[in-house]
């Protein structure tokens, strides 16, 4: 089957805008401009897929086209298994991906089921149909690097600093542009030349080389003028130790290969991409051994950089667990980016909120940019981000915008967007959603909930409550996944999408869902003992909290 192009414009292909949004965003996830490997339905993050197989995709599309305004479609790990009569207020789609009974939630068990066609890895936004391309992570990376500037360098930005990382994949590819927006020059090591070329085409990366000296000299030559980003063709397991050996000290060091996926996400040193693929097929155990050896080599170099004074951090790809499994006992002395830099935002209900123009018209996003800058001008950080995004980010697929927004701010933005649709200033309805990597929607002890103040890192009631609450509050579709970000056995998380179709009813849903969704993040952090969350509740919120009033 050929994957259909994402419909755009005002004409419906379904029986309502809520079904239409699901159809458009599912196909947008698989647009060749957006997805990593659409022929295999892979969207991003190792093997994060949008549908189980081609037959399932075909049946999802048919189901969405025939779905009535009072019916709900059930997706079980990428496969449409049932349509039930519910109510007009109910979600149009409910999704559960990759759930496994905890004792069985191991890589070996899960990926065997996956090979047998019984389940699907949905990552976070791949199987929940709200991936917006590399833009989806760029502000998170920008916020992380900006927090490093503040916390480690006591500055507003990273001007004059160099960031070394690896992986120019679907998420990792945001690093060079995010670094530039935060004022830093960057070198990102990538083993696959086609990924480097894709990033240059998408304007995420300035230039590339396969020579370490040359990479640093490009940065030295330009650092006085403006930050520059360089893709360095090579294997991080070779390049990091070599940079260390030459006594070159980047200011900030990380890694964003897809190390969470041992079998597909990290190419071992010494093998070409084809050799890696062939060994993986022939002898998976030998392949894994090589992956572990390489990750350990890279991790040792990262700790070497740390000892000499670089700021190092783990960027949410389970790199440390892999290094530890490979025998490197110091792996967890690499700090995780959430407790170090992002938790402050999560505490006040802030996280990667986003909106997508279902019309396909970029002017709709620019009109919303303009209105946010006008109506929320007192929020200087937000307005600065909107301008940076507008001037630097090339859209992939349906035009979209991401923006870290906190409790109260999301509702304000959502209502403002619905109002623009109502007045016809935006040409068609807009989908509102977010990453699962958010304040109240995820339990992931190696990432979003690492080192919680009260030790509640692995408590996974929160994402379940989040999904249930969003469903009853009026979200258009709701998803609960296992294993996204840090891999099988390591996380449970939830997502939602809500359509702003310009109606009064949509305004009410927006108020309910956006209050509930980030409100639960505030409660989760207040419950774990974070003072700023309790203070926020004390200042007045639109929910009641028996424990903190």
- Cα–Cα distance, 211 to 229 (Å, whole number): 14
- Cα–Cα distance, 372 to 356 (Å, whole number): 15
Q: Measured from the CB of residue 535, what is the shortest distance to ligand NAD in angstroms?
A: 26
Read off the DSSP letter of residue 52: S
Question: CA of 423: how far to CAs of 83, 361, 414, 429, in Å?
Answer: 34, 17, 14, 11
In the bound state with ligand NAD, the residue whose beta carbon lies nearer, of 361 and 491, is: 491
- Contacting residues toward ligand NAD, per CB under 6 A: 36, 44-46, 137, 140, 166-172, 189-192, 195, 235-237, 256-260, 265-267, 315-317, 437, 485
Q: Which two tokens stand for residue 314?
A: 């783990």
Cβ–Cβ under 8 Å, residues 144 and 337: yes
Active site residue 70: no
Cβ–Cβ under 8 Å, residues 519 and 465: no
Q: Which of 350, 383, 371, 376 is nearest to 423 (CA)?
A: 371
In the bound state with ligand NAD, the residue whose beta carbon lies nearer, of 269 and 361, is: 269
Q: Measured from the CB of residue 516, what is the shortest distance to ligand NAD in angstroms?
A: 23
Exposed, middle or buried, 40 (CB in 10 Å: 0-12/13-18/19+)?
exposed
Residue nearest to ligand NAD (CB): 169
Q: Measured from the CB of residue 169, what is the shortest distance to ligand NAD in angstroms?
A: 2
- Cα–Cα distance, 403 to 406 (Å, whole number): 10
In the bound state with ligand NAD, the residue whose beta carbon lies nearer, of 72 and 317, is: 317
Helix axes 284-308, 236-245, angle to 10 degrees: 30
Q: Which of 344, 340, 341 is nearest to 530 (CA)?
A: 344
In the bound state with ligand NAD, the residue whose beta carbon lies nearer, of 260 and 320, is: 260
Read off the DSSP letter of residue 495: E
Cβ–Cβ under 8 Å, residues 471 and 16: no
In the bound state with ligand NAD, the residue whose beta carbon lies nearer, of 51 and 94, is: 51
Secondary structure of residue 494 in the 3-state scheme: strand
Q: Measured from the CB of residue 443, what is the shortest distance to ligand NAD in angstroms?
A: 15
In the bound state with ligand NAD, the residue whose beta carbon lies nearer, of 61 and 138, is: 138
Question: CA of 5: how far to CAs of 25, 36, 50, 365, 405, in Å?
Answer: 11, 16, 15, 21, 31
Q: Measured from the CB of residue 322, what is the shortest distance to ligand NAD in angstroms?
A: 10
Q: Measured from the CB of residue 236, what is the shortest distance to ligand NAD in angstroms?
A: 4
In the bound state with ligand NAD, the residue whose beta carbon lies nearer, of 187 and 358, is: 187
- Cα–Cα distance, 78 to 60 (Å, whole number): 9
- Cα–Cα distance, 441 to 467 (Å, whole number): 8
Residues in the chain: 549
Q: Measured from the CB of residue 171, what is the shortest distance to ligand NAD in angstroms?
A: 4
Helix boundaries (H) for 154-227: 175-181, 193-201, 212-222
Q: Measured from the CB of residue 101, what is the shortest distance to ligand NAD in angstroms?
A: 23
Cβ density class 493-506: b for 16+ within 10 Å, e for less: bbbbbbbbbbeeeb
Cβ–Cβ under 8 Å, residues 12 and 20: yes
Instruction: Please provide residue 21's backbone torsions phi and psi, each rounded to the nearest 5 degrees.
Output: -60, -45
In the bound state with ligand NAD, the residue whose beta carbon lies nearer, of 63 and 166, is: 166
- Rg for the chain, CA atoms, rounded: 22
Read off the DSSP letter of residue 328: -
Name the catalytic one among 189, 312, 402, 403.
Answer: 403
Secondary structure of residue 531 in the 3-state scheme: helix
In the bound state with ligand NAD, the residue whose beta carbon lies nearer, of 296 and 358, is: 296
Q: Measured from the CB of residue 147, what is the shortest distance to ligand NAD in angstroms?
A: 13
Sign of the C-alpha dihedral, residues 402, 21, 202, 273? positive
- Cα–Cα distance, 432 to 483 (Å, whole number): 24
**Cβ count within 10 A of residue 549:** 8
In the bound state with ligand NAD, the residue whose beta carbon lies nearer, of 45 and 91, is: 45
Instruction: Tell me the catalytic residues.
Output: 403
């Amino acid at each position: 089957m050929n994957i259909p192009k994402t419909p755009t414009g005002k004409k419906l292909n379904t029986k309502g805008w809520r079904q239409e949004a699901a159809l458009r965003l599912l196909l947008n996830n698989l647009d060749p401009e957006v997805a990593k490997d659409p022929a295999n339905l892979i969207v991003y993050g190792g093997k994060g897929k949008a549908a189980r197989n081609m037959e399932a995709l075909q049946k999802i599309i048919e189901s969405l086209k025939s779905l009535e305004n009072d019916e709900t479609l059930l997706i079980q790990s990428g496969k449409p298994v049932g349509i039930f009569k519910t109510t007009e207020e109910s979600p149009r789609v409910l999704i559960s991906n990759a759930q496994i009974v905890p004792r069985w939630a191991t890589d070996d068990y899960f990926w065997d089921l996956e090979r047998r066609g019984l389940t699907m890895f949905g990552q976070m936004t791949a199987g929940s149909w709200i991936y917006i391309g590399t833009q989806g992570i760029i502000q998170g990376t920008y916020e992380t690097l900006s927090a490093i500037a503040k916390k480690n360098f006591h500055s507003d930005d990273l001007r004059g600093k160099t960031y070394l990382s690896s992986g120019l994949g679907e998420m990792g590819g945001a690093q060079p542009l995010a670094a530039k927006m935060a004022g830093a020059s960057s070198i990102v090591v990538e083993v696959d030349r086609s990924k480097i070329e894709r990033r240059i085409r998408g304007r995420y990366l300035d230039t590339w080389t396969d020579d370490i000296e040359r990479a640093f000299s490009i940065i030295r030559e330009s650092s006085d003028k403006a930050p520059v980003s360089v893709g360095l063709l090579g294997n991080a397991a070779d390049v990091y130790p070599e940079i260390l050996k030459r006594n070159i000290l980047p200011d900030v060091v990380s890694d964003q290969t897809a190390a969470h996926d041992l079998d597909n996400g990290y190419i071992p040193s010494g093998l070409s991409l084809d050799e890696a693929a062939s060994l993986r097929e022939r002898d998976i155990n030998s392949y894994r051994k090589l992956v572990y050896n390489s990750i350990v080599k890279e991790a040792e170099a990262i700790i070497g950089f740390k000892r000499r004074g670089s700021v190092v951090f783990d960027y949410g790809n389970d790199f440390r667990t892999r290094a530890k499994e490979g025998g490197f006992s110091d792996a967890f002395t690499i700090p995780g980016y959430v407790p170090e830099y992002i938790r402050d935002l999560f505490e006040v209900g802030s996280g990667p909120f986003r909106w997508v123009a279902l019309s396909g018209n970029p002017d709709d996003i620019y009109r919303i940019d303009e209105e946010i800058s006008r109506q929320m001008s007192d929020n200087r950080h937000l307005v600065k981000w909107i301008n940076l995004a507008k001037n630097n980010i090339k859209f992939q697929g349906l035009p979209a915008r991401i923006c870290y927004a906190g409790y109260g701010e999301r509702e304000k933005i959502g209502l403002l967007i619905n109002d623009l649709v109502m007045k016809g200033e935006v040409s068609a309805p807009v989908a509102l959603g977010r990453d699962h990597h958010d304040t109240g929607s995820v339990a992931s002890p190696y990432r979003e909930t690492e080192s919680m103040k009260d030790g509640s890192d692995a408590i996974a009631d929160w994402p379940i409550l989040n999904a249930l609450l969003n469903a009853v509050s009026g979200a258009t579709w709701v998803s609960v996944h296992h294993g996204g970000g840090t891999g099988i056995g390591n996380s449970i998380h939830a997502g939602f999408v809500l359509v702003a179709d310009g109606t009064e009813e949509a305004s009410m849903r927006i108020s309910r869902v956006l209050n509930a969704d980030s409100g639960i993040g505030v409660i989760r952090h207040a419950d774990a003992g974070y003072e700023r969350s309790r203070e926020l509740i004390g200042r007045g919120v639109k929910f009641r909290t028996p424990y903190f009033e």
